[in-house]
Amino acid sequence: MWVGIRLPRGKIAISGVPAGRMKPRTSRLLLALALFATAPAYAEPPSGSTRLDSACGQLKKVIAAHDGLAETGPAGMGWFCDFAQTGSKLDDEWYVVALRSNRTCEGICSNLMGWYAVHRESGEVHEFDVSDFVVGARIAAPVGTAP
């Protein structure tokens, strides 16, 4: 990987290329590309992954209880959370999640089990309507089951 360093008198050096052999504009462009290419696409605060894991775990518990599944997901397949950002004010209050199974098949198929919204503070699980882009009704586990 090439790394740019600003030298005295405004010269920029890229590792592997002697200073002055590359135009400053080109070296700045390469440096910017290297920085943006290695930046995470979904930035969360340092404790973000813990919150995402917690939200995913809560979603799995609620859906498992609601649909009569094991918390490990559909038999023989398992499942995982695919978090999405809406780019709207929803992101401040909700995690928008596509719950997916590990289903494999030949030809055209889908592993999508549903779209959900998990409240960032309370952990409540709601339906998420992707066509209207709105949080829907709360999904509650049947009476007598956890959570």
Q: What is the pLDDT of residues 124-136, one digit of tens each?
A: 999 999 999 999 9
Return the pLDDT at 105: 82
76-96 pLDDT, tens digit each:
889 999 999 999 999 999 999
Put simply, whether the predicted model's pTM sits higher than 0.75 gets the answer: no
C-alpha to C-alpha distance for 117 and 90, rounded to whole angstroms: 9
Q: Using the structure block, give the residue that is written with the tokens 């949080």.
A: 135
Q: What is the pLDDT of residue 82?
A: 95
